[in-house]
Amino acid sequence: MENQINQPQGSPPDNNLVWAILCTVLCCLPLGIVSIIKAAKVNELWARGDVAGAHKAASDAKKWAIWGAVISLAFLVLYVIFIVILGLGGFLAG
């Protein structure tokens, strides 16, 4: 009974685990792993009654996943620009 008193009302925040996994697999491995670790803490913190900590962990997981996606997108854009410049350089020189 005492354990139920400490339980927060409602459901825990979205842990963003899907986004963390997608970021790890498709985008940026190091930032995706950090995101997965943060996402894994959400339900544990919620179960302990740490509502603020659960929301912070969920927010952090989302932040790390977004940063991983943004960084990998930036590298992709730079790569495409690099390939285009090399292609144009070869075309103009030849």
How far, in Å, CA of 90 to CA of 29, rounded? 34
Output the pLDDT for position 94.
63
Alpha helices in 23-50 (DSSP H): 29-47
pLDDT tens digit string along 46-91?
999 999 999 999 999 999 999 999 999 999 999 999 999 988 877 7
Output the pLDDT for position 33.
97
Output the pLDDT for position 53.
97
Task: Report the percent of the chain where pLDDT is more than 90.
Answer: 78
Alpha carbon of residue 39 to chain centroid:
9
Alpha helices in the chain (DSSP H): 2-6, 17-22, 29-47, 51-93
For the record, the structure tokens of 26 come out as 């498709």
Amino acid at 49: G
How much is the pTM? 0.82
